[in-house]
Chains A and B, each alone.
Chain A
C-alpha cells in the first residue's frame, strides 16, 4: 500500500477520533466514531488483515454504533448544556493524557524494531480468513466456546437490566 494512503487514513481516523471527544452533540460524536472506525479498518487492510478490517466495519460501524445511536435517540439526549468545568480538572486531565503520550512516544523511540520497515509477504495472495478460522477452531477452540457463553450471559444480563423493575 502506498505511503500516502497510510497518512490519509491515519489522519481521517485521528481527526474523527478527536471529533468524538470534542463534539458537544452526542449524535455527532457517534457519527464521528463511525468514520473513525472506517479509517481504522482501512489501516487494518493496509496491514494485510482483511478479515479483521471487515469484522471492524461489520461489528463496530454496523452493530455497535447502531446500538449507540439507538440509545442516544431513545433517551432523547440533546446537545449538552454548557456546565462550568473545573479548571483544575481540565488542566489535570490534559496533563495526564499528554504525559501518557510522551511516555508512549519515548518508549517507541527507543525500540529498534520500530524503525524497520515491514518485511514483504511470501506471496501477495492472502487467505487470512482461512488461516484465522483454522486457528480459531483448533488452537483456540476452548476460548472460542467460552466467548460464546460470554455473549449468552451478556444477552441475559441485558434482558434482566432492561426489565421495568429491578429486584
Chain B
C-alpha cells in the first residue's frame, strides 16, 4: 500500500539527485537543470500533502495546488531569464564551465 511517506521519500530522493547535480557538475546548463529537479521535488511533496489533507467535504486541499501553479509559473520565468544570462555569459567568455568564470571568487 502506498502511503504519504512513500511520496515524501521519493520527493526527497529527487531533491537529493538535484542537489548532488548542483554540487558535482561543472557545466552551468546541467546545474540549471538540477535546479529544476529540486523545484519539482518540492512540488511533488506539496501535491502529496494536498491529497493527504482532505477538507470536511472530502476533497483535496486545493490551496497547495494553487501554490504549485505559482511555483511552476515562477520557475518558467526563472528559466527564461537564467538561459538569457547563460547566453550573455557565453558571448562574453565563450564558456559554460563554472570553473572558467571565477572573477568573483575570493
Interface on A for B, CB 8 Å cutoff? 3, 6, 10, 13-14, 17-18, 20-21, 26, 29-30, 33, 36-37, 40, 43-44, 47-49, 51-52, 55-56, 59-60, 63-64, 67-68, 71-72, 74-75, 77, 80, 83, 85, 89-90, 92-94, 96-98, 100-101, 104-105, 108-109, 111, 113-123, 126, 128, 131-132, 135-136, 139-140, 143, 147, 150-151, 154-155, 157-158, 161-162, 166
Report whether over half of chain B's contact residues are helix, strand or loop; otherwise say mixed: helix
B37 x A17 contact (CB < 8 A): yes
B18 & A17 in contact (Cβ 8 Å cutoff): yes
B106 CB, min distance to chain A CBs, angstroms: 17
A48→B54 CA distance, assembly (Å): 12
Q: How far is the CB of A3 from chain B (nearest CB, A)?
A: 5
How many angstroms from the CA of A55 to the CA of B12 in the assembled complex? 22
Contact residues in B for A77 (Cβ distance below 8 Å): 27, 29, 96
Q: Is the interface of A mostly helix, strand, loop or mixed?
A: helix
The minimal Cβ–Cβ distance linking B68 to chain A, given in whole angstroms, is: 5
Q: Which 5 A-B pairs have the closest CB atoms?
A: A122-B58, A114-B5, A93-B23, A154-B77, A104-B12
A123 and B58 contacting across the interface, CB-CB below 8 Å: yes
- Which residue of chain A lies nearest to B77 when distances are taken between CB atoms in the complex? A154
Docked CA distance A116–B21 (Å): 32
**14 pairs across A/B with beta carbons < 8 Å?**
A26-B30, A40-B14, A40-B44, A43-B7, A47-B50, A75-B96, A94-B20, A98-B16, A100-B15, A114-B5, A117-B4, A118-B52, A132-B62, A132-B65
Q: Which residues of B contact A96 (CB under 8 A)?
A: 19, 23
Task: Give a binary string over B55-98; 1 marks a CB under 8 Å from any A CB, 0 the rest.
Answer: 00111101101101110111111111101111110100000110
B104 at the A interface (CB under 8 A): no
